[in-house]
Amino acid sequence: MRKHKIELIILFFVIVFISLAAIFPLTVDDIIYRLLGPGFNFVSAANGRYLGNFLGVNLAYSIILRVVIKTIVIIGIIFMIKKISNVKSNNYILLIISLLLFMPKELFRETMVFTVGFTTYIIPIIGILFIIHYYLNNVSLKSRTFIGLFCFLGIFNSLFVEHLTLFNLILSIFLFIQSYLKTKKINPLYLAYLIGSLVGTVIMFSNHNYILSFIGQDNHQYRTLSSFNMIGEKLKLIVYSAIYVNNIINFAIIVLISLLHKNCFQNKSNLGIKSAVIFLWLFAIYNLLTILNPNWQILNTYTYNFNIIITSVYIILIIYLLIFSKFLKREELKRLMFYIVSIAVILLPLIVVNPLSSRCYIMPYILMIILVIDLFKILEKNKIISIKKIENILILIVLMQCIFYLTIYGNIHIKYMERINYVNLQKEQNREIIKIKDLPYQEYLHYWNICYKYFGDRLWQWENYYKFHYKINSNKNIEFENC
C-alpha cells in the first residue's frame, strides 16, 4: 500500500473531481445554454466562440457529457503540464494538483464550476499545451499524419475565446519564424499549425458582431471595447486579478527563486540581488497579512494602487532574479522566459475588452504552475531541494483540498435539491408566487442569485429562463430570496 500511496491519492483526486463535476450546479448562463438545446444555430451566434458555444450547450444539456469531458480535460491538462516540464516523479503530479486546487475561488467558480466558462476558457488550453510541449521539448513527430493534427489544432484552439485565439495565432507565427531562422528550413508541422491558426482566427473574427462591437453598435451590451481613457484602469485590473490575487502560487515562486539565490547573502557584492530577494519576501509577508485580514487597508483609498505598484515591482524583480541566477543554464532561462512572455501576450489583448471576468486569467495561471514546476525541477537537479522530502506534505494538502471542495459543493448540492423539491411543492399547491431559495456559499458560484443589483431591467428575462428551467407556468410570478 505504501509503495502505491501516490497513485492512490491521485486516484482519490480523480474520483473527487468526478463527484464534483456531477454535483456542480448549473448557473445562470448554463441554464440559458441548456435551454438553447443541441440544435442551436451557432453560425448566427453572438460571438465567434463557435466550439466553446457548441460544447457549452451540449455539456449544459447532458450531465454525462459534463462529467466525462470535464474529467478528461483536467486529467489531460495535468498530464501535459508534467510532459512540458519533463518530470518523471508522480510527486510532481501531486504538486500540480495542489496548485490547481489552490487557485483563487473567483477563478475556480468561473472555470471549474461554471460549465460554459469551462468549455470556453479551459478546453482550448490542452491543445495549446500540446504545441508548447512539442516546441520546448523538441519532440520528434515525423509521421505525415501529425501535419493534419497540427492544422486541426490551429483551427481548434482558435474557436473558443478571443484572447486565446490571438495568442494561438501569435504563437504559430513565432514558432514558424523561429524554426525557419534556426534551421533555414520550413518545418511542415509549424506551417500546418500556422495555416490552421490563420483559418481559425478568420473564422472567429468574421462573426459580424465583432464589427458591430468595434463601431459601438453591438446589441450585446455586456461586451464592448474599452475607450482609450479606460486602458490604464484595465491594465491595473489585469495586474491585480491575474497576478496579485494568486497568493499561494506567488509564495511558491518567491520561495523557489529565493533558493536560486540562497548564497547571495554570503557575498557582499550582491547588493542588487539581496535587495530584490528582500523585497520579494516583504511582498510575500504583506500578501499573507492581507489573507489573514482581508479588510485591512494599508493606505486607505490608495491601497488598490499600492497593490498594483508592488505587484508590478514583484514581476520585474522575478525577471531580474531569473536573468542573473548562476544556477540557470541558457536553455532553462529560455524556457522560463517563454512562460513569462506568453503570460504577457495572453493578457495584453484584455486591455481593450470590457468587462473583464476572472475566468480570463486561467491560462496565465496554468503557465504560472508550469513555471513553478520547472523551477522546482531545476532546484532538485542542483540538489537544493527534493520533491520526495515533501511527499507527505503534498499528500496531506491534496487530501485537505479535496475534502474542502467536497464539503462546500456537497452542501450546495443538498440545498439545490431542497430548492427543486420546494419549487415542485409550490407548483403542486398552485401558488401564484413561486419562491426560489438561495444557495449557500454563493461566493463559490457564478452569479447564482438573480437580483436587481446584478441584472437591473433585464431581470424579467432571467425570470423567464428560470421558469423554463424549473417548468414553472409562464403566468406565475417568481420571487428570489434575499433580492
Torsion-angle region of 430 (φ positive above 0: left; ψ -120 to 50: alpha; else: beta): left
Rounded Cα–Cα distance for residues 409 and 441 (Å): 8
C-alpha span between 313 and 426 (Å, rounded) = 57
Q: Which of 170, 147, 175, 144 is nearest to 157 (CA)?
A: 170
How far, in Å, are 4, 192, 344 from residue 172 at the CA level? 40, 9, 16
Q: Which of 172, 168, 161 is nearest to 48 (CA)?
A: 161
pLDDT higher than threshold 50 for residue 454: no
Q: What confidence category does residue 269 fall into, taking pLDDT thresholds of 50, 70 and 90?
A: low
Quick check: 392 pLDDT over 60? Answer: yes
What's the grid cell of residue 414? 443538498
pLDDT digits (tens, 9 = 90+) for 277-336: 999 999 999 999 988 888 877 777 888 999 999 999 999 999 999 999 888 999 999 999
Band the pLDDT of 208: cuts 50, 70, 90: confident
Name the pLDDT band for 224 (thresholds 50, 70, 90): low
Element holding 224 (H helix, E strand)? strand 224-225
At 354, is the secondary structure helix, strand, or coil? strand
d(CA 112, CA 182): 40
Share of the chain above pLDDT 70, in %: 89
Look at residue 164 in the predicted model and tell me its pLDDT.
96
Secondary structure in 3-state letters for 363-393: HHHHHHHHHHHHHHHHHHHCCCCCCHHHHHH
Rounded-to-integer distance, Cα 33 and Cα 55, Å = 10
Question: Phi/psi class of residue 385: alpha, beta or left (left: φ > 0; alpha: ψ in -120 to 50)?
Answer: beta
pLDDT score for 226? 55
Q: Are 92 and 365 in contact (CB under 8 A)?
A: no
pLDDT of residue 281: 96
Lowest mean pLDDT among 204-213, 262-271, 316-325: 262-271
225 three-state secondary structure: strand
**433-436 vs 477-480, strand pairing mode:** parallel
Enter the pTM of the model: 0.93
Does the pLDDT value for residue 152 go beyond 90?
A: yes
- Residue range 364-374: average pLDDT? 98
Helix residue ranges, H only, 293-325: 303-323
- Which of 61-65, 247-251, 306-310, 351-355 is the least confident region? 351-355
Percent of residues, the chain, with pLDDT higher than 90: 63
- pLDDT for 108 equals 96
Instruction: Specify the length of the chain in residues.
Output: 483
Q: How far, rounded to the nearest angstrom, does the alpha carbon of residue 82 sit from its chain's CA centroid?
A: 17
Kind plus residue range of the DSSP H or E element containing 480? strand 477-480
Q: Cα separation of 377 and 244, whole Å?
A: 24
Residue 458 is predicted with a pLDDT of 52
Instruction: Supply the DSSP symbol for 133.
Output: H
- Give the C-alpha separation, 366 to 362, whole Å: 6
Q: Which three cell numbers stand for residue 108?
A: 475556480
Task: Give the whole-angstrom CA distance, residue 151 versus residue 167.
Answer: 16
pLDDT category, 449, cuts 50, 70, 90?
low
Which cell numbers hold the place of 254? Answer: 518567491
Backbone φ and ψ for 224, nearest 5 degrees, come out as -140, 170
Tens digit of each residue's pLDDT (9 = 90 or more) over 42-94? 545 678 889 998 899 899 989 999 999 999 999 999 999 999 999 999 999 99
- Kindly indicate the confidence band of residue 222, based on its pLDDT and cuts at 50, 70 and 90: very low
Question: Can you tell me the mean pLDDT for 343-351?
Answer: 94
pLDDT for the residue numbered 39: 61
Q: What is the DSSP string of 248-281?
A: HHHHHHHHHHHHHTTTGGG-TT-HHHHHHHHHHH
Q: Mean pLDDT throughout 455-477?
A: 70
Please tell me the distance from the alpha carbon of residue 172 to that of residue 62, in angstroms, as a whole number.
34
223-253 CB burial, b ≥16 within 10 A, e <16: ebebeeeeeeebbbbbbebbbbbbebbbbbb
User: In Å, how far are 23, 405, 418, 442 from 411, measured between CA atoms?
Assistant: 10, 10, 11, 11
**What residues have CB less than 8 Å from 145, skipping those under 6 apart?**
none
Which distant-in-sequence residues (6+ apart) come within 8 Å of 74 by Cβ?
Answer: 17, 100, 122
